[in-house]
Structure 1
Amino acid sequence: MEWGWLLLRDAWWSAIAALGFAVLFSVPPRLLWGCMLGGAVGHMVRTFCMQMGLSIEAGTLLGAMAIGLLGEWLARRTHTPALVFTVSAAIPMVPGAFAFGTMLNLIDFSNTPDAGAGQVLLWQAAYDAIKTALVLAAIAFGITWPALVLRRPRPVV
Structure 2
Amino acid sequence: MDWLLLEKCIWFGLAATGFAVLFNVPVKNLPAIYLMGAAGGFTKVFTMHLGTNIVFGSLYGATVVGFLSIYFAHRRHSPPPVLAIPAVIPMIPGILAYKMIIGLIKLAGEVQPDTYSQILSETVNNGLKVMFILMCLAGGVAIPMLITRKESAKELKFKRKG
State the TM bucket, normalised to the shorter chain.
over 0.9
2: distance between equivalents of 1:21 and 1:149? 26
CA contact (8 A) 1:18 1:89 kept: yes
Deviation at 1:124, TM superposition (A): 1.1
CA contact (8 A) 1:12 1:40 kept: yes
Q: How many residue pairs are counted as aligned between the two chains?
A: 152
Deviation at 1:34, TM superposition (A): 1.0
Opposite residue 31 of structure 1, the aligned amino acid is N
TM-score (norm 2): 0.90
Q: Does 1:40 align with 2:38?
A: yes
Which of the numbers 49, 68, 71 marks the counterpart of 1:70? 68
1: distance between equivalents of 2:85 and 2:151? 23
Deviation at 1:152, TM superposition (A): 1.8
2: distance between equivalents of 1:138 and 1:67? 12
CA contact (8 A) 2:43 2:64 kept: yes
CA contact (8 A) 2:33 2:87 kept: yes
2: distance between equivalents of 1:132 and 1:102? 9
1: distance between equivalents of 2:64 and 2:111? 47
2: distance between equivalents of 1:119 and 1:54? 28
Q: Which runs of 5 or more structure 1 residues have no equivalent in the other structure?
A: none
Deviation at 1:11, TM superposition (A): 1.1
1: distance between equivalents of 2:76 and 2:13? 19
Q: Which runs of 5 or more structure 2 residues have no equivalent in the other structure?
A: 153-162
Aligned residue number for residue 109 of structure 1: 107
2: distance between equivalents of 1:127 and 1:113? 18
CA contact (8 A) 1:105 1:122 kept: yes
SS in 2 for 1:64: helix
Deviation at 1:39, TM superposition (A): 0.6
**Identity across the alignment (%):** 35
Q: Does 1:90 align with 2:88?
A: yes
Which of the numbers 17, 20, 38 marks the counterpart of 2:18? 20
2: distance between equivalents of 1:40 and 1:151? 24
Deviation at 1:153, TM superposition (A): 4.4
1: distance between equivalents of 2:102 and 2:110? 12
CA RMSD of aligned residues (A): 1.2
CA contact (8 A) 2:39 2:61 kept: yes
1: distance between equivalents of 2:82 and 2:59? 19
2: distance between equivalents of 1:78 and 1:36? 14
Q: Does 1:140 align with 2:138?
A: yes
